[in-house]
Structure 1
Amino acid sequence: MNMTDEEKKLAAEEKKLAAEEKKKQKVIDKEIQGTKKTGKDAPKSHGEILRDQLSDALETYNKSTSSILLSSVTAGLEIGFSYLMICSVFFFLEGKMGEDSIFKMISLVYPLGFILVVMGQSILFTEQTALLTLPVLNKKQTSGAMLRLWGLVVIGNLIGGYAIALLLNWLGPRLGIFNNEVMVTIAKHVIAAKLPVILVSAIVAGWLMGLLSWLLASVRDTISRIVIIFLITSVLAFAGLHHSIIGSIEVFSGMLRSPDISLWDYLTFQGSALLGNAFGGAIFVALLKYRAFVFNIFGK
């Protein structure tokens, strides 16, 4: 079937746009790969951080499904040590100070699980969200591949979280380090806000976790990395922002112990927290940081 003049014109314009886009992408890739390394003691440049982040993300995409799932399950288990400390500290301080003050004090122990996960290089959804978005923006991976990887990581994190929650539900009361009432109180505190508030809170939390990933790529020594993890995650706890993975453990544990917390309560919380965390990490960090680099290259 012969093309009309209008169709030929549209096809030519599309071809021209595709060629221009391809040329533009080559310039971006050349700029990223050509970024010079800074000195050992000097802070990394924007381009150097972006290059390292892209490299790390592509390594994750190239891992096998079983490797990603196992690493994600491990992260879900390890983040449970934050929950262990949250419950233990709450039980220890209960009756000695007000409940509001206890929840603020918890911010001092909340970072433990995150330090274990990040320093141990397990795959945690919120810390990886922005990272895994970068290859899509850089046209090295598709959106479908990203969503598949997100799904694997979330499934692994949740499975690990359920396992550690069941273990701690059994162990905590038997060791006398916390009781059922503490788990229920913490769960109710997490889901006390209305769903729109949880969603926005999770967006901010995802933003901070994406920044955590970016900041970690900017430093080289272990002590600085631990300090950054502690500062960012303690802000999450002190401000009461919602994190989908540790929040899953908290609400799931409370659901097991109280009829006041239903499966619907858990599912609506979990859906809102996951959506918010993903949006916050992908949009506010990956997109903004990447676009800032591109604008710097083309000046528009």
Structure 2
Amino acid sequence: MAFHSSKRIVELAVEAGAKKASMRPGHALLLGFLGGAFIAFGFLLDIRVTANLPEEWGSFSSLIGAAVFPIGLILIVMAGGELLTGNMMALPIAVLAKRATIGQLVKNWLLLLISNFIGAIFVAYFFGHIVGLTETGPFLNKTVSIAEDKIDQSFIQSFISAVGCNWLVCLAVWMAYGSNDMVGKMFAIWFPIMGFVAIGFQQVVANMFVIPAAIFSGHFTWGNYFINFVPVVMGNAIGGGVFVGFIYWIIHKESFQTLAIAKPSIKKVS
């Protein structure tokens, strides 16, 4: 199964970030809605699969839930969708390569912040609350327990947890850039996402589903959600933008800049 080198992935990530930066706002909103909904579907599947498992299974049940959660990012990459946390790597590296501007980055992140939230909360309300998939018996208990664990963390705990989360999420996206076939992309996505879920790291888009789902069932408040949201979105930005995008850019920027310099000479010859 062939794959691209890290240097080539930098080039592909820059190209992807540049395309995302110039995307039409309407398209970004629609694809962002899908991205938020797909991540919510993955979390909903996790809850439905693990809520009835015996307590004696301990962390093994967490591993089972983590193994089904990656369907969310797989759908985004394969079917099409936009995810804020993934773009927290792609847009900064495009800015570093001077293929996008800070203004475009901020605009894209804001559009996806809004649309990912709408998509995630759509699934939480209509499938979780109205259909009742997170509202009864062990499924309600599981949803409330997960949301409570996230809310109860301190600001610094949530922030650091979010750094670890998006470090892994963006590595999943990074490695998916490294494959040209669907099976390769699926495996590239599967294990880092399974890892962050099994560890219990915090992702802002996943939290857009599980905490509102608990709120709709009568637990917690939107104030609790906002207090969690701030450190998690900050930590996710650092995890993706610095620990993946920035570090790999620093390592490979010279070869990439050489490639960029070579392009004008080709144009002159033509």
TM-score normalised according to structure 1 size: 0.78
Structure 1 101/190 Cα, relative in aligned 2: closer, same or farther at 3 Å? farther
- Matching residue within 182, 192, 200 for 1:232: 192
Distance, in Å, in 1 between the alignment partners of 2:254 and 2:82 is 30
Q: Could you tell me which amino acid in structure 1 is paired with residue 38 of structure 2?
A: E
Cross-structure match for 1:169: 129
Cross-structure match for 2:267: none
Cross-structure match for 1:138: 97
- Matching residue within 248, 251, 258 for 2:211: 251
Structure 1 286/183 Cα, relative in aligned 2: closer, same or farther at 3 Å? same
Cross-structure match for 1:84: 44
Q: Could you tell me which amino acid in structure 2 is paired with residue 270 of structure 1?
A: F
Cross-structure match for 1:277: 236
Q: Does 1:294 align with 2:253?
A: yes
Cross-structure match for 1:113: 72
42-51 vs 184-193, which deviates more?
42-51
Structure 1 96/70 Cα, relative in aligned 2: closer, same or farther at 3 Å? same
Which structure exhibits the higher relative contact order, with contacts defined as CA atoms closer than 8 Å and separated by 6 or more residues?
2
Secondary structure of the equivalent of 2:23?
A: coil
How many Å apart are 1:290 and its aligned residue? 0.8
- Matching residue within 94, 116, 140 for 1:180: 140
Q: Could you tell me which amino acid in structure 2 is paired with residue 272 of structure 1?
A: P
How many Å apart are 1:295 and its aligned residue? 4.9
Cross-structure match for 1:265: 224
How many Å apart are 1:182 and its aligned residue? 2.9
Distance, in Å, in 1 between the alignment partners of 2:9 and 2:239 is 19
Q: Could you tell me which amino acid in structure 2 is paired with residue 206 of structure 1?
A: N
Cross-structure match for 1:103: 62
Q: Does 1:150 align with 2:150?
A: no
The structure with more radius of gyration: 1
Contact 1:131 1:213 in 2 (8 A): no
Contact 1:243 1:277 in 2 (8 A): yes
Give the 5 Å matches for 1:36-55. 42-55=2-15
**RMSD (Å) for aligned C-alpha atoms:** 2.4
Contact 2:66 2:197 in 1 (8 A): yes
Contact 1:130 1:286 in 2 (8 A): yes
- Matching residue within 84, 88, 96 for 1:129: 88
Contact 1:72 1:123 in 2 (8 A): yes
Tell me the number of residue pairs that the alignment of Structure 1 and Structure 2 aligns. Answer: 257
What residue ranges of structure 2 are gaps of 5+ in the alignment? 258-270
Structure 1 295/177 Cα, relative in aligned 2: closer, same or farther at 3 Å? farther
Contact 1:91 1:178 in 2 (8 A): yes
Cross-structure match for 2:262: none
Distance, in Å, in 2 between the alignment partners of 1:233 and 1:248 is 17
108-117 vs 151-160, which deviates more?
108-117
